[in-house]
Amino acid sequence: MGMNFLRMFAQKYFFETHMSKNKHISKANTQSNVKKTVPKQTTSLRKDGSKLFDFIGFIEKNRWVAFGFLSALFLLLSFIVFGQFISGRYYYMFKDIGSDSVTIFYPYWVMNSELIREFGYPLWSFNVGMGQSVYGNLLNPLGTLVFFSKEMIVGMVVFYELAKIFIVALLSFTYFKSVNYANAVAILGALFISFSGYVILGSGWYGPTVEVLYAVLFLVAFEQIFKRNRWWLFLVGIFFYATVSLAFIAVFIAVYALFRLLEEKLTPWQWSFWAAPVKMIGLGVLGGMLVAIFFVPVMFALYNSPRIGGDSGYFTNLASSGVFTLMPTEKYITQIFRFYSNDILGNGIFAKDIVGNWENYFESPASYIGLFTLLLFPQVFVLAEKREKWLFGIYMAIWLLPLIFPYFRYAFWLFSGDYYRLFSFLSSLVLLFMAMKVLNALFLGKKINIQLLSPNGGHFGASSLYGYNLDVAKT
C-alpha cells in the first residue's frame, strides 16, 4: 500500500511537473501517457490520501516550502531529543563518559572568552601548557561561544549545538537537491543525516558536529564545481576548516568524486572527467596557502604531541599489525548492532562491558543513520542498471572493508589510534546515498523487491530483540 502510494504520488506530481516543462509533448500525448501508467486502483488511493497527496505535491513544487517543512520537522525532533536541555532543566554538559565537556571544552571556552575581553583577539596564551598559540582556533565562525561571557556559556551550549545541526540539515537538503532528488526525498535524507548516531552522540563532544557539517558542505561544494563550475564554496570550506580532520574528509570526497564521475558515465580520456578533480586540487593548494598561518601551528603542536609520535602513540603497534588480521567476534557484533542504534547495547558508562571492549561509549562505532536506510539500501542492487550495481558495490566495499579488516581503518587514521568516530559516519553515509537513490526511484514509479525487503526486515527484528535481551540481562 505504501509503495503504491509513492508511485501514485510520482505519477500525479513528480511526472506532471517534469512533463509540463517539455514543450514538444502535445497535450493529447501527455494525457495518453498518464492513462497508460496509472494503475487501476488510482481512484481509491487518490480518494483515501487526497489531502496527503496535495500536501506532498505542494512541497514538491516549491523548494522554499520544502525548506520550511524541513525546518518545522527539525524543530519538532529537536524538542523531542533535546527538550530537557532547551527548557533549561539541564545544561548540555555531561559527567561519566562525557566528562570531556566539563574538564576540557568548558574551561577552554572560558579561557578564550576571558582572553578576548582582556586582550582582544588572542594570539598566544600561557594558560595552555607552557604557552601556545591560540589564534588559529578562533578562525572557525562556528566557534561563537567564546564571544559570550563565561557566565552565559554553559546555558548557550545546547543552542550552539542545535545551530550546527540545523546547518547540517540545510546543507544536506541542498546536497540531495543538487543530485536532482525530489524535495520529499531530500527532506528525509537531511533528517537522517542531522539526527544520525554520530551527530547526536558527537554533539556531547561538540567537535563531531563540526566534522559532519564540513563533510556535507564539501559534498555540496563538489557538486557545485562539477555541475555549475562554481568554486567559491569549496575554497570557503578549506579556509574556515583548517584542522587535521580536513585531511580525512578530503579522502572521503576524493573517493566520492571518482564514484560520481563514473556514475555520470564519464571516462578518463575525456577532459570533463578530469576538470572537477583538477579544480579541486588547485583550490586545495590555494586554500592551504591562505590558511597556512593558522594551520601550521596546529600541525606543529600535533607533531610534538606524545599521542602522535611519542611513547604514548599507537603508530608502531597499529602499523605493524597484519593487513588482514581480524578482530574479536564481539567487536563485529558491536559494529552490526550500532547500525541500528547507539544505545542498543547499552549507553554511557554502562556500555563499557558490552560494546566489544572498546575504551568507551564514544570510541565504539556510531553508525546509525536511520532504520529506513537499512531497509532500503539493498534495493539499489535490484533497481539500478547493471553498470550502477557494480559501481555501488565497489563504492560500498571501499568503505565497509575497513570494518572487517581493521588495518585499513587504522590506515585511514594514519595509525594514530583504534578509532571509529568520523569514519563510522562516512561509512554509513554511503548506505544512505544508496537508500535515497532507491527512494527517489520509487518516486519515479519503480517497484520495490518484496523478496529482498522481507529478510532485511526480519534481520532488523532479530537485532532489536537481541539488543533488548542484552539490556534485560544486564539489568
pLDDT over 60 (residue 25): no
For residue 112, what pLDDT is reported?
82
Q: Are 259 and 266 in contact (CB under 8 A)?
A: no
For residue 38, what pLDDT is reported?
39
Integer Cα distance of 416 and 411 in angstroms: 9
For residue 457, what pLDDT is reported?
55
pLDDT over 90 (residue 266): no
- pLDDT band at 473; cut points 50, 70, 90: very low
User: pLDDT: is 384 or 192 the higher one?
Assistant: 192
pLDDT over 90 (residue 33): no
For residue 138, what pLDDT is reported?
55
For residue 249, what pLDDT is reported?
92
- pLDDT band at 30; cut points 50, 70, 90: very low
> What digits encode the pLDDT tens for the residues 206-246?
889 999 999 999 999 999 999 988 999 998 888 888 777 88
- pLDDT band at 36; cut points 50, 70, 90: very low
Mean of the per-residue pLDDT values of the chain: 79
User: pLDDT: is 300 or 38 the higher one?
Assistant: 300
User: pLDDT: is 35 or 175 the higher one?
Assistant: 175
> What digits encode the pLDDT tens for the residues 318-374?
888 888 989 888 888 888 888 988 888 777 655 554 555 455 678 888 899 998 899
Closest-CA residue to 191 (of 383, 366, 371):
371
For residue 80, what pLDDT is reported?
95
Closest-CA residue to 139 (of 211, 241, 208):
241
User: pLDDT: is 92 or 303 the higher one?
Assistant: 92
Average pLDDT of the segment spanning 74-100: 91
Share of the chain above pLDDT 70, in %: 76
Q: Of the given ranges (185-199, 366-380, 441-455), which has the lowest mean pLDDT? A: 441-455
Integer Cα distance of 314 and 417 in angstroms: 6
Q: Of the given ranges (59-63, 312-316, 382-386, 439-443), which has the lowest mean pLDDT? A: 312-316
User: pLDDT: is 248 or 463 the higher one?
Assistant: 248
Q: Are 380 and 392 in contact (CB under 8 A)?
A: yes
Integer Cα distance of 255 and 277 in angstroms: 11
pLDDT over 60 (residue 443): yes
Average pLDDT of the segment spanning 397-423: 90
- pLDDT band at 92; cut points 50, 70, 90: very high
pLDDT over 80 (residue 48): no
Average pLDDT of the segment spanning 14-26: 42
Q: 63: how many CB neighbours lie within 10 A of its CB?
A: 14
For residue 320, what pLDDT is reported?
84
> What digits encode the pLDDT tens for the residues 125-178?
777 777 777 765 555 666 777 778 888 888 999 999 999 999 999 999 999 999
Average pLDDT of the segment spanning 434-439: 93
Q: Of the given ranges (28-42, 131-145, 248-262), which has the lowest mean pLDDT? A: 28-42
Phi, psi of 471 (to 5 degrees): -65, -40
pLDDT over 60 (residue 316): yes
pLDDT over 50 (residue 304): yes
Phi, psi of 370 (to 5 degrees): 105, 130
- pLDDT band at 40; cut points 50, 70, 90: very low
For residue 32, what pLDDT is reported?
39
For residue 414, what pLDDT is reported?
84
3-state secondary structure the chain: CHHHHHHHHHHHHHHHHHHCCCCCCCHHHHHHHHHHHCCCCHHHHHHHCHHHHHHHHHHHHCHHHHHHHHHHHHHHHHHHHHHHHHCCCCCCCCCHHHCHHHHHHHHHHHHHHHHHHHHCCCCEECCCCCCEECHHHHCCCCCHHHHCCHHHHHHHHHHHHHHHHHHHHHHHHHHHHHCCCCHHHHHHHHHHHHCCHHHHHHCCCCHHHHHHHHHHHHHHHHHHHHHHCCCHHHHHHHHHCCCCHHHHHHHHHHHHHHHHHHHCCCCCCCHHHHHHHHHHHHHHHHHHHHCHHHHHHHHHHHHCCCCCCCCCCCHHHHHCCCCCCCCCHHHHHHHHHCCCCCCECECHHHHCCCCCCCCCCCCCCCCCCCHHHHHHHHHHHHHCCHHHHHHHHHHHHHHHHHHHCHHHHHHHCCCCCCCCCHHHHHHHHHHHHHHHHHHHHHHCCCCCCHHHHHHHHHHHHHHHHHHHHHHHHHC
For residue 396, what pLDDT is reported?
93
pLDDT over 60 (residue 52): no
User: pLDDT: is 372 or 190 the higher one?
Assistant: 190
Average pLDDT of the segment spanning 182-202: 94
For residue 246, what pLDDT is reported?
84
